[in-house]
Structure 1
Amino acid sequence: MKKKIMMRTISSVLTSILMLAPLATPIHAANATTSQSTEITSFLAQDWTPKDFITSSNGKSVVTSTEFVNLLNTAADAAGYDQDIAYKSGDVVTRETAAVLLDQIIDVPYSQNLAYNDVKSSSYLPSIEVISTSGLIKGFSDSRYGYEQTLTKTDAAVIAYRLYQYLQPFNPVEASITSIQSAMETGRLTSEELVQLYLDRIEQYDDNGPKLNSIIKVNDQAISLAKELDAERSDQGSRGPLHGIPIILKDNFDTADMPTTGGSLALKDSVPADDAYQVKKLREAGAIILAKANLHEFAFGYTTTSSISGQTLNPYNLTRVPGGSSGGTGASIAASFATVGMGSDTGGSIRVPSSFNNLVGIRPTIGLSSRDGIMPLALTQDTGGPIARTVADAAAVLDATVGYDPNDVTTASSIGNIPDSYLDYLDSEGLKGARIGIVRDVFGTDSEINTVMTNAIQELKQGGATLIDNVSIPNFTQINSFGSLSAWEFKFQFNDYLTTLGDNRPYSTLSDIITTGLFDPSIAQQLKDRNNIGSLEDETYKDIVLYRTRLAQQAILKMMADNDLDALIFPTSAKQIVKIDGDQTIGDGFKLSSFTGYPTVTVPAGFTTDNMPVGMDFIGRPFSEPTLIKLAYSFEQSTQHRRTPVLTP
């Protein structure tokens, strides 16, 4: 049956087949009819499907071994697999003989040990375990395979379609943690293969092609680490959702096996003594540090240019900036150079690149995740968190990286404020009944951004949320008058960071680095100004720390309490994405999280008329990440605003 088959023909055949009860039982038990009806539809629409193999009258007919093997070989050929299945002629095919036939071309390195009580001959069990693990033929239950039951033509069609899908090369583009783990568990993919797929994409699109210039350095040990994790999975099983998952770090996260440069030539050979706390936690969860990403040097800006790597480009338009300061992470994850990434955020550096690259970013509550080993900009505002293509992936990374760290005293406040798993809050109906405030004070006047937000607000309402418009921020003018603490704290905290590098550190102080000139000229004045700060005993600094923080926190909490709100929303950036060499500003929305230390989740909200992404922030009370994840996930699932960049297909 060819691709140009009339849809009414597919519908007619499918309707007749579904009348043959119980259609799906021979393949698997739960929700079988719905699942198989979709697979039959897909089978019928394939170019390779033999004409009239399954019709309105023969779906329940028993398939012969010749018909079954010929169909499987046709599916395998269509998938590019050139080994035919050998068989002995017979009248019918049972589920156990089907497993033996399929086992000839299926290679599952981590097949499960299954306790099927109805398998009468142990000679079939190895093949049954392989094929059950692969998902091509599942058991009726954990204890019953369906031994000696014959296959119908409907069953054969479903199995052939599954085989065709199984033999397809794994596509890493937009691949989620869940889809990757499923592929690994069923034998379609190994971590080693996945790492190589990502490395190939980095070579194709970062080093060549559009040359995004998002990666500073690839981990030379990534392949060997993947092999070790594959062996561990085979011997002991998976550690969890991040087992074998490649991650890209912003290059201000310490890694004991790679340099941590902060984007500066001055630190190009600086290898820390140990991993940052969050990096350590990721490795313990089984993640692979695939590469270090470019950033705006020392995290000073929103355009992501550095002396060590130059300008990173936006994968949605090579003439535009990727945001910053975690712009290398943003561009690389948008282009599917790894599964997920990590960024740091002082004044929008997770949120802005997430917005500009059509991604999800989580800036956690300060105190939820340790900053130990993250090159500081201003610890009063600094935090680190995930940048991902989906809310689910970001939540999985958050699970692995939160918790108390004695080396970061703020994390003591996380105790009692961490759920069993943030993945438990992935509720597609999460917007229903929610009360969300619209903070017009930080929208700005850009008509393109505001049009996207108007549409997003309607989508929130359609999802079941109640929107309270134009909620007012108490004392906003006064709060907005305070400056960022990076101008004050950087020198002292950066010097402390250099001390942690030990006796072999390349430089002892910021003054030493300034003397070398080994940094991008665009940040020279910022470095000098920060280095000229004499002391943190200045009254202006103390006012910012004490009064700004208190005013901002009280304003957010009062606004939310007065209006009985679950969260607040506003555009991540009130300004559109500028061209390379332009001056990128983003408005005042970032301050609500940066000045309070409260959490924010950024999600794709839509696109401007020139096809550039726009993000929306959900901000809430301290440690309200579960609520924000629930709202963001529900919005994401109902809108699907995430698009793959056409420049990195």
Structure 2
Amino acid sequence: MSELIRRTAAELSGLLSSGEVSAVEVTQAHLDRIAQVDGDVHAFLHVAGEQALAEAAAVDTARKAGEQLGALAGVPIAVKDVMTTQGLPTTAGSKMLEGWIPPYDATVVRRLKEARLVTLGKTNMDEFAMGSSTEHSAYGATHNPWDLDRIPGGSGGGSSAALAAFEAPLATGTDTGGSIRQPASVTGTVGVKPTYGAVSRYGLIALASSLDQAGPCARTVLDTALLHEVMAGHDPLDSTSLTDGYPDVVAAAKAGATEGIAGLKIGVIRELHGGDGGYQAGVMARFDESLALLTKAGAEIVEVSCPSFTAALAAYYLILPSEASSNLAKFDAMRYGLRVGPAGVEAPSAEQVMAATRAAGFGDEVKRRIILGTYALSSGYYDAYYGSAQKVRTLIQRDFAAAFGQADVLVSPTSPTTAFKLGAKLDDPLSMYLQDVATIPANLAGVPGMSLPSGLADEDGLPAGIQLLAPAQADDRLYRVGAALESLLVESWGGPFLAKNTLEAMK
């Protein structure tokens, strides 16, 4: 196994810039790793081997010619299959889009190409990003590299598993209610949901437009910051794109690692501190240890209360299905994607073809949410359900504003538990939804959030995560505190976290 796959993106950037290794060598090492382990992990839906090597060779040629290149030029990346990629299949994990090859790139993908990152392929995900385990993919479940019998989180489990399995040093994700942060938590990686509007949604296959946010995934805070810098920025093609407020997240990460966080106030959210008994003991133990390290580093720990957070899960599961039922209405068998004719009907109507196609093309979880959303938006129920959920959303935004008046950043466990067994929650949707109880409030309010590893839970030796939350457009605070805490944790562990990964058995 090449040692190149264990290098961070920042380290690979230095090796590439100095000429010690070529982009082709780095890319080939990761393609070899994918060939070696992805049959067991199933992180990728499509591997673009020839294209990746061609992109890497072009970077090497440009570098030899003296062309000015970005910091991540030549570094490989895995792309979540919800982002349109010109010339590569994009399915959103659904049979509805099986075989679809988009004629254009999502803005995020275009920016990756402009920065000369090398696309390794497209990663597996829950169908249309609906799920917390990547078991709802129409193309089979992804497995957690820490324990192949467990889930890698969702909906972006393919991206998080690719990182934890050392198949890619960087990956993209999307986060509608925790789909970047929760997978990061259960795989021992780092994931960030930026401020809503900080990263363009153009070219993302929409789930819930007011909640969806693309973001960076990596194995270290600095690597995540380097990718965040590439992805973020105003986009005139996205009407919700911010026109300002893009702090220097790379500088913040470097400052956190070197200058520390003395004097900062860290707010512990009372409602997300496990008092109801729903949090695994080992997850809480690692969280409390992280708080102790932050205190030792000179931060002040305060408790804050956000009472409306107790209603966030219920509000989310009215707002998201409502928006999803609207967004997925375009998959009607008339314009693109799957088309299935009803059995035994010689000259079917458009309505009959649409019904047969949606029945065949959508999985159970997607159908469940479409039905729920359509009901919530129906005449006579709109105000009672969707309207009430939006009022709760306003209360959550107000609670965040009050909490940030008392603390610079807020913290909680990212997920109540470590990775559960594959199949353990498939017959209990509510139990699955509860995995996102701590991450959902950030999406409802549009504030940025980060998950980074807090250690291994005592009960099962699996990763737990700590979540950091900052005010809107203050993403740099996440990186400063995250990098500082990461340095303290790595020192306490005696080395990089993923070096303890049980994937060693898959060499």
TM-score interval, normalised by the smaller of the two chains: 0.7 to 0.9
| Cα separation, partners in 2 of 1:512 and 1:550, compared to 1, 3 Å | same
Amino acid at match of 1:183: L
| Cα separation, partners in 2 of 1:181 and 1:481, compared to 1, 3 Å | closer
Whether the aligned pair in 2 keeps the contact of 1:438 and 1:467 (CA below 8 Å) is yes
The secondary structure found in structure 2 opposite 1:195 is helix
Q: Does 1:453 align with 2:303?
A: no
Q: Distance in 2 between matches of 1:342 and 1:613?
A: 20
Amino acid at match of 1:614: A
Q: CA deviation at 1:205?
A: 0.6
Q: CA deviation at 1:545?
A: 6.3
Q: CA deviation at 1:474?
A: 4.0
Match of 1:177 in 2: 9
The secondary structure found in structure 2 opposite 1:426 is helix
Whether the aligned pair in 2 keeps the contact of 1:461 and 1:467 (CA below 8 Å) is yes
Whether the aligned pair in 2 keeps the contact of 1:347 and 1:591 (CA below 8 Å) is yes
| Cα separation, partners in 2 of 1:473 and 1:532, compared to 1, 3 Å | closer
Match of 2:345 in 1: none
- Report which stretch shifted further, 261-270 or 623-632: 261-270
1:40-79 superposed matches below 5 A: none
Normalised to the residue count of structure 2, the TM-score between the two structures is: 0.87
Q: CA deviation at 1:410?
A: 1.4
Answer with 1 or 2: which has the greater Rg. 1
Q: CA deviation at 1:505?
A: 4.5
| Cα separation, partners in 2 of 1:268 and 1:463, compared to 1, 3 Å | same
Whether the aligned pair in 2 keeps the contact of 1:172 and 1:336 (CA below 8 Å) is no
Between Structure 1 and Structure 2, which shows a larger proportion of helix residues?
Answer: 2
Q: Distance in 2 between matches of 1:181 and 1:502?
A: 46
Pick one of 553, 557, 563 that aligns with 2:397. Answer: 553
Q: CA deviation at 1:475?
A: 3.7
Match of 2:415 in 1: 573
Partner deviation per Cα, 1:505-554 (whole Å, 9 max, x = no partner): 44699955754514445654345444666669932465256423321111
Amino acid at match of 1:295: M
Whether the aligned pair in 2 keeps the contact of 1:443 and 1:589 (CA below 8 Å) is no
Q: Does 1:492 align with 2:492?
A: no
- Report which stretch shifted further, 570-579 or 354-363: 570-579
Q: Does 1:214 align with 2:46?
A: no
- Report which stretch shifted further, 352-361 or 432-441: 432-441
Q: CA deviation at 1:477?
A: 4.2
Q: CA RMSD in A?
A: 2.5
Q: Distance in 2 between matches of 1:467 and 1:574?
A: 21
Partner deviation per Cα, 1:555-607 (whole Å, 9 max, x = no partner): 0111221x2x1100000011232111011442521122021110001111111
Match of 2:360 in 1: 517
Amino acid at match of 1:178: A
Q: Distance in 2 between matches of 1:185 and 1:478?
A: 50
1:17-96 superposed matches below 5 A: none
Q: Distance in 2 between matches of 1:366 and 1:513?
A: 36
Pick one of 188, 192, 197 that aligns with 2:24. Answer: 192
Pick one of 219, 229, 232 that aligns with 1:399. Answer: 229
Q: Does 1:588 align with 2:437?
A: yes
Amino acid at match of 1:517: A
Amino acid at match of 1:622: A
Partner deviation per Cα, 1:609-636 (whole Å, 9 max, x = no partner): 2210001110011011111110000100
The secondary structure found in structure 2 opposite 1:227 is helix
Q: Distance in 2 between matches of 1:557 and 1:515?
A: 42
Partner deviation per Cα, 1:264-313 (whole Å, 9 max, x = no partner): 12212111221111111111111121110111112111110245421111
Q: Does 1:240 align with 2:70?
A: yes
Pick one of 464, 468, 474 that aligns with 1:624. Answer: 474
1:80-479 superposed matches below 5 A: 171-207=3-39, 211-219=40-48, 220-411=50-241, 414-420=242-248, 422-427=250-255, 428=257, 429-444=259-274, 445=277, 446-469=280-303, 471-479=304-312
Q: Distance in 1 between matches of 2:367 and 2:396?
A: 31
Whether the aligned pair in 1 keeps the contact of 2:249 and 2:475 (CA below 8 Å) is no
Pick one of 458, 483, 495 that aligns with 1:633. Answer: 483
Q: Distance in 2 between matches of 1:345 and 1:179?
A: 27
Query: Gaps spanning 5+ residues in structure 2: where?
Result: 340-349, 426-431
Q: Distance in 1 between matches of 2:79 and 2:210?
A: 22
Q: Distance in 2 between matches of 1:309 and 1:191?
A: 31
Q: Distance in 2 between matches of 1:401 and 1:559?
A: 28
Match of 1:598 in 2: 447
Q: Distance in 2 between matches of 1:283 and 1:187?
A: 21
Choose between structure 1 and 2 for higher RCO, CA contacts under 8 A separated by at least 6 residues.
2
Whether the aligned pair in 1 keeps the contact of 2:269 and 2:411 (CA below 8 Å) is yes
Pick one of 383, 396, 410 that aligns with 1:539. Answer: 383
Partner deviation per Cα, 1:465-507 (whole Å, 9 max, x = no partner): 11113x21144445554233221011222345x59x9955446
Whether the aligned pair in 1 keeps the contact of 2:80 and 2:159 (CA below 8 Å) is yes
The secondary structure found in structure 1 opposite 2:227 is helix
The secondary structure found in structure 2 opposite 1:376 is coil
| Cα separation, partners in 2 of 1:306 and 1:473, compared to 1, 3 Å | closer
Whether the aligned pair in 1 keeps the contact of 2:177 and 2:436 (CA below 8 Å) is no
Q: Distance in 2 between matches of 1:578 and 1:530?
A: 28
Whether the aligned pair in 2 keeps the contact of 1:439 and 1:568 (CA below 8 Å) is yes
Match of 1:59 in 2: none
Amino acid at match of 2:461: N
Q: Distance in 2 between matches of 1:235 and 1:605?
A: 44
Whether the aligned pair in 1 keeps the contact of 2:376 and 2:382 (CA below 8 Å) is no
Amino acid at match of 1:618: L
Partner deviation per Cα, 1:325-377 (whole Å, 9 max, x = no partner): 10010000111111200111111100000001101111011011111111111
Match of 1:611 in 2: 461
Whether the aligned pair in 2 keeps the contact of 1:307 and 1:518 (CA below 8 Å) is no
- Report which stretch shifted further, 233-242 or 314-323: 233-242
Q: Distance in 2 between matches of 1:476 and 1:292?
A: 34
Whether the aligned pair in 1 keeps the contact of 2:415 and 2:438 (CA below 8 Å) is yes
Q: Distance in 2 between matches of 1:456 and 1:514?
A: 50
Whether the aligned pair in 1 keeps the contact of 2:248 and 2:476 (CA below 8 Å) is no
The secondary structure found in structure 1 opposite 2:19 is coil
Q: CA deviation at 1:230?
A: 1.1
The secondary structure found in structure 2 opposite 1:197 is helix
Whether the aligned pair in 2 keeps the contact of 1:488 and 1:541 (CA below 8 Å) is no
Q: Does 1:643 align with 2:475?
A: no
Amino acid at match of 2:399: A
The secondary structure found in structure 2 opposite 1:289 is strand
Amino acid at match of 2:413: P
Match of 1:93 in 2: none
| Cα separation, partners in 2 of 1:424 and 1:438, compared to 1, 3 Å | closer
| Cα separation, partners in 2 of 1:545 and 1:476, compared to 1, 3 Å | closer
Pick one of 291, 301, 315 that aligns with 1:482. Answer: 315
Q: Distance in 2 between matches of 1:301 and 1:255?
A: 23
Amino acid at match of 2:455: G
Partner deviation per Cα, 1:96-115 (whole Å, 9 max, x = no partner): xxxxxxxxxxxxxxxxxxxx
Q: Distance in 1 between matches of 2:19 and 2:293?
A: 39
Q: Distance in 2 between matches of 1:301 and 1:600?
A: 19
Q: Distance in 1 between matches of 2:183 and 2:24?
A: 29
Amino acid at match of 1:625: D
Whether the aligned pair in 1 keeps the contact of 2:182 and 2:436 (CA below 8 Å) is no
| Cα separation, partners in 2 of 1:520 and 1:587, compared to 1, 3 Å | closer
The secondary structure found in structure 1 opposite 2:464 is strand
